[in-house]
Amino acid sequence: MKILDTNLWVFGMLGTNSRAEHLLDEIERGETVSAINAYMLQEALEAFDRTPGLTPEERDEVKTLFLTRLTRMTGLIEAFESRCRRFAA
């Protein structure tokens, strides 16, 4: 299993880092297994909220697209809800 740093999640979504993009593609196809905890999810969402060059509406859109993509990643394990509950506890 590969645990990705927040940088990789953000750059894989919005950056021009081909390694990060490649890793996300692999997780998407289930060729690599990964997990993301709610803390890192929060970090990534905070980063999208601060992304230079995008309007507030576009930042919201990026967050939705990011989360949508995560929910479809075959290689990403654990139920998000349970992670969020632990995050809130």
Q: Which residues bind other proteins (CB under 8 A)?
A: 6-7, 10-11, 13-16, 38-39, 41-47, 49-54, 58, 61-65, 67-72, 80-81, 84-85, 87-88
Q: Which is nearer to other proteins, 21 or 33 (CB)?
A: 21
Torsion region of 35: left, alpha or beta (phi above 0 gives left; psi -120 to 50 gives alpha):
beta
Torsion region of 5: left, alpha or beta (phi above 0 gives left; psi -120 to 50 gives alpha):
beta
Smallest gap from Cβ 48 to other proteins, in A, equals 8
Smallest gap from Cβ 30 to other proteins, in A, equals 14
- Please state, in angstroms and rounded to a whole number, the distance separating the CA atoms of residues 89 and 87: 6
